Amino acid sequence: KPVKDKLGIAIIGLGEYASDELATALKKTKECYLAGIVTDEPSKAKKWKKYFNIPDTNIYDYKNFDRIKDNADIDIIYIVLPNSLHREYAVRAAKAGKHVICEKPMAITVKDCDKMLTAFDKSGTMLSIGYRLHFEPHHIKVMELGQKKYYGNIKRLIAKNGIPEIDGWRLDKELSGGGALMDVGVYCVQAVRYTTGMEPVSVTAKEGKKTSKKKFKEIEESISWQMEMPGGLIAECECSYTKEMSLLRAEAESDWFELSPAFTYSGIKGKTSSGKMNLRNINQQVAQMDDFANAIKNNKPTPVDGETGKQDVKILQAIYKAVKTGKRVII
Ligand code: NDP
């Protein structure tokens, strides 16, 4: 079939991230556009329909979602649901013969990740994970400085990510799969992997004290953990649901480089020991979605594929095990 100029995306789950970030981005993407929505909220459907001029035939709910298979307008389904629902909707989307962008974390267990990978193997469509920072100029620079050992081997690596306030499904373990680690800690795991270009050998970890036992009854509020990399580097990481943090810092043999804030949607600032990075802040979600649409059009792999997402979930699970046992856990 002929390749479309712009691929059609359908978002499933019209919550905060979809409305605050993706909606704006989808007004600016060049390779794809918002063609449909999947929601159980008629009031949201009405708003989105008007804003994006979506025909009624491209509006679905969770029950009739599988009918999207027959809709040629929709090429990509973007899953922006609570974490534990990612697996089910990704598998249904694959069965409908669609490509998928699935938000992070890919799923809440490695087993779920495997089910997703099998579904995409069968469908022959592509899966990508919503790792927006892979396409961000400062992070691309860090990958280059770190992986190419521009300043020599990294001797010390720090990654911290924390947000000051959360509520809703994030506090519900069944929907979230865990606390701060699943949600914001995953950025640190990713950052350690792409700054070094290496996979951790083992992890050690400790849960932080809870500021409210009631609020954080089911999930952890904070964790500090260490990732042991081949060659002996021990990356120091921390995540929190009450403490605001956003730092990625590498100290290498001859110089250091850091991003602070590191993981935000905008305003990322980079420095090295020789000065400012002087890079642009871009719309990360535009870059991420356009890259994926391009990959599909040109039959190229995506740098943020399902295997990458699964490896992160595997590391997250190892960190939880290290918290529970108090022991070093081999990956
Ligand atoms: P929200 O709670 O704001 O939105 C989730 C949406 O999912 C809801 O609005 C609802 O949409 C739908 N939904 C379906 N079933 C449920 C359920 N049982 N409970 C709650 N919502 C349900 O969450 P976020 O937008 O903050 O997060 C969604 C996903 O996006 C998560 O996986 C998160 O990790 C990821 N995320 C990624 C970010 C990034 O930077 N890459 C940033 C923020 C979030 P509807 O009413 O339309 O059915």
Structure confidence at residue 254 (pLDDT): 97
What is the residue type of 63? K
Question: How does pLDDT run across 208-257, given as a tens digit for each residue?
Answer: 999 999 999 999 999 999 999 999 999 999 999 999 999 999 999 999 99
264 Cβ neighbours under 8 A, 6+ residues apart: 246
- Contact, 76 vs 100, CB < 8 A? yes
Give the Cα-Cα-Cα angle 311, 152, 315 (nearest 5 degrees).
15
**In sequence order, what are the beta bridge partners of 78?**
11, 101
Q: In terms of DSSP H, where are the helices of the chain?
A: 16-17, 23-25, 42-52, 86-95, 110-123, 137-147, 173-176, 180, 186-196, 284-297, 306-325
Those residues of the chain that have pLDDT short of 70 are 1-2
Catalytic residues: 104, 187
Query: Going by CA atoms, what residue is nearest to atom 42 of ligand 1?
Result: 17
221 Cβ neighbours under 8 A, 6+ residues apart: 179, 180, 208, 209, 210, 211, 212, 215, 240, 241, 242
- Whether 135-283+313-330 and 7-132+286-304 are alike in CATH topology: the answer is no
Q: What is the DSSP string of 27-54?
A: TT-SSEEEEEEE-S-HHHHHHHHHHHT-
Structure confidence at residue 1 (pLDDT): 57
168 lines ligand 1 (CB under 6 A): yes
Query: Going by CA atoms, what residue is nearest to atom 38 of ligand 1?
Result: 17
Strands, E, within 151-302: which ranges?
A: 154-162, 202-207, 222-228, 234-240, 245-252, 256-259, 270-272, 275-276
In CATH, the architecture of 135-283+313-330 is 2-Layer Sandwich (3.30)
Structure confidence at residue 62 (pLDDT): 98
CATH superfamily ID and name for 7-132+286-304: NAD(P)-binding Rossmann-like Domain (3.40.50.720)
pTM as predicted? 0.98
Residue given tokens 């974490």 in the structure block: 83
Q: Which phi and psi angles does 223 have, rounded to 5°?
A: -145, 140
Domain ranges of the chain: 7-132+286-304, 135-283+313-330
Dist. CA 206 → ligand 1 center (Å) = 28
Dist. CA 253 → ligand 1 center (Å) = 42
- Convert 153-188 to b/e letters by CB count within 10 Å (16 or more is b): ebeebbbbbbbeebeebbbebebbbbbbbbbbbbbb
In terms of phi and psi (left: phi > 0; alpha: psi -120 to 50; beta: otherwise), the region of 326 is left
8 lines ligand 1 (CB under 6 A): no
How far does CA 186 lie from the centroid of its chain? Answer: 8
65 lines ligand 1 (CB under 6 A): no
Structure confidence at residue 2 (pLDDT): 62
Give the Cα-Cα-Cα angle 14, 189, 328 (nearest 5 degrees).
130
- Contact, 257 vs 272, CB < 8 A? yes
Structure confidence at residue 282 (pLDDT): 98
Structure confidence at residue 87 (pLDDT): 98
Tell me whether residue 217 is exposed, middle or buried, using C-beta atoms within 10 angstroms of its C-beta: 0 to 12, 13 to 18, 19 or more: exposed
Structure confidence at residue 3 (pLDDT): 76
